[in-house]
């Protein structure tokens, strides 16, 4: 992601987050204390409503065109591959919409911690 695209996506919230770029999936695992995560994919079997996402859980999304690499879906640290329900015949959702949908779903499961 270019700096320009990142600044555009962050808009007014850029100062409130810390963004760290990792070269690839293995670098992410090596450079963080990530114990486990949920992968989000159209290949997931359980729908998001059938999972409990706790505060502190990581959600991993892939690109709109390719999704997540298979190694992310099958890695031992992956707690499961979940999907967002879609209309029959839909290929995928826009990445930003997918993140927003799942983030607010997870926040709702956790009584919207940190929000008023």
From CA 95, how far away is CA 42, in angstroms rounded? 12
Q: Is there a contact between 33 and 75 (Cβ–Cβ < 8 Å)?
A: no
Q: Is there a contact between 98 and 67 (Cβ–Cβ < 8 Å)?
A: no
Is domain 33-109 classified as CATH 1.10.357.10? no
The residue length of the chain stands at 116
- State the pLDDT at residue 82: 93
From CA 82, how far away is CA 3, in angstroms rounded? 30
Tokens of 5: 């695209």
Q: Where along the chain do its domains lie? A: 33-109
From CA 7, how far away is CA 16, in angstroms rounded? 13
Read off the pLDDT of residues 20-51 as tens digits, 9 standing for 90 and up. Answer: 888 999 999 999 988 999 999 988 887 888 88
Which stretches of the chain drop beneath a pLDDT of 50? Answer: none
Tokens 């640290």 sit on residue: 77
**Does an H or E element contain 82, and which?**
strand 78-82
- State the pLDDT at residue 1: 65
């Amino acid at each position: 992601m270019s700096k320009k695209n990142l600044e555009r996506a962050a808009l007014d919230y850029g100062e409130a987050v810390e963004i760290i770029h990792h070269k690839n999936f293995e670098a992410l695992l090596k450079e963080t204390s990530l114990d486990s995560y949920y992968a989000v994919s159209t290949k997931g079997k359980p729908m998001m409503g059938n999972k409990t996402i706790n505060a502190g859980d990581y959600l991993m999304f892939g690109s709109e065109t390719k999704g997540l690499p298979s190694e992310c879906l099958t890695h031992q640290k992956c707690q499961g591959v979940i999907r967002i329900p879609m209309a029959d015949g839909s290929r995928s959702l826009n990445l930003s919409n997918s993140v927003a949908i799942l983030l607010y779903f997870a926040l709702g499961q956790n009584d919207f911690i940190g929000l008023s």
